[in-house]
Each structure stands twice: as C-alpha cells, then as structure tokens.
Structure 1
Amino acid sequence: MITTSSPAHLPALRPRRLPTARGEFAVLDVPPAAGTPARGTVLLLPGYTGSKEDFTLVLAPLAARGYRAVAVDGRGQHGSDGPADDEAAYAQDELAKDVLAQARACDAPVHLVGHSMGGQIARAAVVLDHSPFRSLTLVSSGAARVPVSQEQRVKLLRDALAVMSMEECWEAILAMGPPEEVGGPARGIGGPEQLRKRWLSTKPAQLIATGRQLCTEPDRVAELAAVPLPFHVLSGSHDDTWPVPDLDAMARRLSARRTIVDGAGHTPTVDRPVPTAQALADFFDTLAAS
C-alpha cells in the first residue's frame, strides 16, 4: 500500500502545460508506475476555489494501479490562464467544451473525475458529448444547486469580489476564519502560503461566474442518466456542502456505484487520499474487466 499523508511522501509529479484545441492548461501528470501495465487515463477536475493540487495525494496511488493520472486547472483557475473580467468566458458550456478538449488531448477515452463544482462541469461535458469518456465519477458533487447555507457564503464571496481586489478579499477571508472554512473547499497541499498563491492567481471573473453557477444549477440527473456511461458517486461520510443522503439519492437515480469514504469530509482526496484513490481505481478496474 502506498501512503501519501504528507509532503514528504509526494510522488514525482510532472507539472506541465497540456496543449489542447482550446488553449493550454496547467496539469499535474503522473504516468503509470514503472513495471505496471497501463490500464487507462484519469482526468481530474477541481472544485470551486480549488486547483489541481487538491488531487496531489491520489495521483501516486492511481499510478501504482496502472492509471495515468492528470489533474487539471480549469480555465482561469490557478495555473491556467483566462480573462480576469469576462464572466461569459466561464459559462458552464464553455468550461464543458474545455473539458472535452482536455480529454481528447489526454488520449481519450478517459475516466473523468469531478470534485464539487468540477463535478457539475464534468456532468455538463458528458451530457454535451460522452464520446471522449470511459466513465464519470462525481466526488462530493450534488444533483443541483448548493443548499441555502452554502449559497449565502458563495454570495458573500461574489459580492466581495465585485468591489475588492483579490488581495483585499484574501485578507477578509483570513479575518473570517481558516481559508479551508470560507468560500468553498480551498484546501489542497502546501499550507497557507500555497493557498494564498492559488487564490491570487485565480481570475476574479472565474470565481464570480462559477459561484453563480453553484447557486443556480438545475437538477440535470435525468439528462445524465440517459448517457450510456458507467457512473460512480463518491463522497466522505460527512459533507457540509451537499448532504450525504442527497448524494445517496442521486446515486440511486443514476444507477451508479456508491462509495462513502469513512472519516472524510467534502474533499476526500485531501482528507483520506489513499482509500479515495483505491475506491476510484477499484471502480475503473471493474470497467476494464467488463
């Protein structure tokens, strides 16, 4: 078993640029472990206020199971460029088309994994065109808009971004509490300075536009269920964004495999990366065997 519980155990990551038909994207790209038969490619999409680094600790365990693992910053997220003030560039349909291009650049078909808001973008991509995908895993990503309690927090952040600089917003976030507790799953690897760097490099228009999507997303589960792909719904045993029973119900509607990672919260890839990676690989292995 690979244990990746601290920065001292991080895999040999390959930060690079992924060229696609829709521009370049920053990725962490880990090939299958040496001597391990290649079993496919996994494309991982981060959530609101997140980045590719939220997947750092699951990449090596996936590689050990034979999967090339590619974690990507979406348009305007952290290491990927995008307009600072053009919200239309971050419409969900535009972001979904980016994902289609990323999948094709990663030797599609790929296993698609989306966390939280990234799950909603992944869903939109699959509904738009499922051909570049082998499967879809939704990680802590609900059927529709976030609950009212979370909507209020996202709206507060959006309102602040409309009148404050990113630096001013960051200082306000620190004053409200630890960064991981304000404005979404801003966790990941690297400590407070890495979180600050990630925040400052993310485009304000991306946060405003995707925050609005989180608060208005309709229930598209029926549309998704009509897509001929295998589905997997994975979450922690507790979640402060979408209640776990709601995720259970969504999995039933999708006839999806359901995994609950004990002891994990809204970001299982950070809270309990090894069992999360094992659950992902177990799902992918069943598809390779079928």
Structure 2
Amino acid sequence: MGIHPGLADGTPPRPSQLWPHRAERTEFDGPHGPIAALRTTAPADATVLLVPGYTGSKEDFAPLLDPLADAGFEAIAVDLPGQYESPGANDESAYTPAKLGEVVAGLAAGLGPRPVLLLGHSFGGLVARGAVLAGARIAGLTLMDTGPGQLPEGGRRAALALGEPLLRQDGLVAAYAVREEVSARFPAWALVPDEVKAFLRDRFISSSAAGLLGMADVLRTEPDRVDELAKALRDNNIPALVVAGENDDAWSVPAQREMAARLDAPFALVQGAAHSPNTENPGGLLEVLLPAWRAWLSG
C-alpha cells in the first residue's frame, strides 16, 4: 500500500487505492463466478491486463488507469478468483499459478483483436508466468516485483507462516484484526487515512479464506520455473520486461535482475519505490513501462 504525495496545487495527498479514475467497474466470466474488473473506455490500440498480488485487488492499479488510457492503452485491472469482489473455489488447491494462469489466459483470449500486454505484480507475476505457460496469446509480458519461485526467508514469508493458523482457526475477521494490531506498531500506519483502512479491511474480509491460504502456500512452495518461461517466450516470440522497486523487500533486487538475465529480458528499477511501484511511484513506473510497451507494439 502506498500514499501519493500532495499535488503541486496544494491538494492533500490521496490514498492510492482510492485514487479517482475514469475506468468503469465491469465483470468477465470466470470459472467460479464473475471476475470483477476496472476497465478504461477511451479509444486504444492495445490492451494492458493488470494482475494484482497476494491480498491485493484491481484497485491497486487505480493510479495507473487514467495515465494508461491517456497514453493510448486500454487498461483492465482484475481481481483474481478469490480476491475481493471475484468469488473463488473453496478448494485451496485451486489457487496455484498454473490454475489461475489458465484463467488469465482465458481472459486474454476473450479480449478481442487488439494486442494484449500482460503485467503481473508480486504473486500476480507468478500467475502471469502461469498464463504464458498455459499458452496465453499475448504481445508482451511484464513481471513486476516478483521472483523466480517461492519467497525467500524474511519478514514476508514469516508473516505467512504466522498468519496461517490464525486464519484457519479464527477466520478472516479475527485474522485481519491481528494484522491491524501489528500495523499499528509502525508510525506510518497513523498516516493512513481512515477511508483507506476501511477499504483494506473490507477487501481482506471479502476475499476467500481458501484463496488466501492457497496463495500463501504457493508463496512458500512455488518452484523456480524461469527456464520453462524463457523457452515459452522464445518459442512464441513474446518480449518481456522485469521491473522492481529499488527497495523491494519481498524478492531481492539481485534475484530479480538475475531472473531478467535468464529470460533474456531487460531489467529496470523504479526509484522511490519498494514492493509496489504502482502505488508508491506510479509516475516513475510509467516512465519505465510506456517506452518498452510502445517498442514492442511498433516492432
């Protein structure tokens, strides 16, 4: 989660997930019910399909939606099955990158004749990889703040292990109450507006418990499939880009740089960002993405 700085005209800072935009709320057919999405409507030559990370949602891309539309791209940000407003299966095994990747590949196939560029953030990057391995018909792949496999040892992985028994025994509401208690120990939490705190709580408790547990298991067990992905990209002539916030605290920046080299893909850092450049420095992220995407399309 990130907060935008104040605007040049003195407008107070706005919460990034609630950043105003012109995109419309829509739904696509999914395997367990409708897949909720935010979709821009301006004329466009290509579509960007945006896949969020663990405990995330389509709103995490709110700061990017209007700028992408203004740059000539149709932007579609989704909730994966089991996330926020997209219902999911009650089976934890339904939330692997392979199975969710098939869902994303199906979405991409149904978007019409325009080229589709796929961006996956964090856990969503593993899903985007799964989509390519499932044969997704895309014109380019961007992996953002994601890694070659499971999360390395560190605070994020430890939090998953601590949260699992609480979620299983006491449910979503109790699990989120503990998350809030932990967050309150950090000074930055006091700066988060109340409406953002309310949104984050609603998003978490509206998600599928099986989905949260299944995705958390993936983040602790997913194997390295970079070589498989590299072959799929080569065989299908799909260009790729790896992007990371300069202070990412999930997968290390060196690990992501090495992944890019194995994929024979460019690697770019977003300054002033950590694990979520889409909310922490969306302008800096767009300065990386737009030239690469335009080059892919023109090429």
Taking the TM superposition and a 5 Å limit, the aligned residue runs for 1:235-254 are 235-254=244-263
Residue in 2 that maps onto 1:27: 37
Length-normalised TM-score, structure 1: 0.89
Out of 158, 165, 185, the position equivalent to 1:159 is 165
CA 1:21 to 1:167, structure 2 compared with 1: closer, same or farther past 3 Å?
closer
| Cα deviation, residue 281, structure 1 | 1.7
Residue in 2 that maps onto 1:220: 225
Whole-Å separation in 2 of the counterparts to 1:41 and 1:180: 38
Residue in 1 that maps onto 2:206: 201
Whole-Å separation in 2 of the counterparts to 1:53 and 1:179: 25
Residue in 2 that maps onto 1:97: 102
Size of the aligned set, in residue pairs, is 276
| Cα deviation, residue 220, structure 1 | 0.8
Deviations 1:24-66 (A, max 9, x none): 2000001336xxxx22000000000111111000111111110
| Cα deviation, residue 247, structure 1 | 0.9
RMSD of aligned Cα (Å): 2.4
Matched, 1:234 2:243: yes
| Cα deviation, residue 102, structure 1 | 1.2
CA contact (8 A) 1:224 1:254 kept: yes
Deviations 1:2-27 (A, max 9, x none): x8973696221201112357742000
CA 1:180 to 1:246, structure 2 compared with 1: closer, same or farther past 3 Å?
farther
CA 1:12 to 1:244, structure 2 compared with 1: closer, same or farther past 3 Å?
same
CA contact (8 A) 2:32 2:81 kept: no
Out of 263, 286, 289, the position equivalent to 1:280 is 289
User: What is the SS of the residue equivalent to 2:109?
Assistant: helix
| Cα deviation, residue 179, structure 1 | 10
Can you give the 5+ residue segments of structure 1 that lack an aligned partner in the other structure?
182-186
| Cα deviation, residue 277, structure 1 | 2.3
Whole-Å separation in 2 of the counterparts to 1:63 and 1:179: 39
Identity %: 34
CA contact (8 A) 1:22 1:98 kept: no
CA contact (8 A) 1:62 1:278 kept: no
Deviations 1:193-228 (A, max 9, x none): 000110011000001001000111111111111123
Greater than 6 Å deviation, 4+ residue runs: none
Whole-Å separation in 2 of the counterparts to 1:162 and 1:211: 12
User: What is the SS of the residue equivalent to 2:34?
Assistant: strand
CA 1:179 to 1:40, structure 2 compared with 1: closer, same or farther past 3 Å?
farther
Can you give the 5+ residue segments of structure 2 that lack an aligned partner in the other structure?
1-6
Residue in 2 that maps onto 1:16: 26
CA 1:204 to 1:60, structure 2 compared with 1: closer, same or farther past 3 Å?
same
Residue in 1 that maps onto 2:3: none
Residue in 1 that maps onto 2:4: none
Whole-Å separation in 1 of the counterparts to 2:280 and 2:168: 32
Residue 251 of structure 1 aligns with an amino acid whose one-letter code is: A
CA contact (8 A) 2:139 2:297 kept: no
Matched, 1:63 2:72: no
| Cα deviation, residue 107, structure 1 | 2.1
Length-normalised TM-score, structure 2: 0.86
Whole-Å separation in 2 of the counterparts to 1:275 and 1:243: 19
Residue 56 of structure 1 aligns with an amino acid whose one-letter code is: A
Whole-Å separation in 2 of the counterparts to 1:190 and 1:143: 35
Residue in 2 that maps onto 1:106: 111
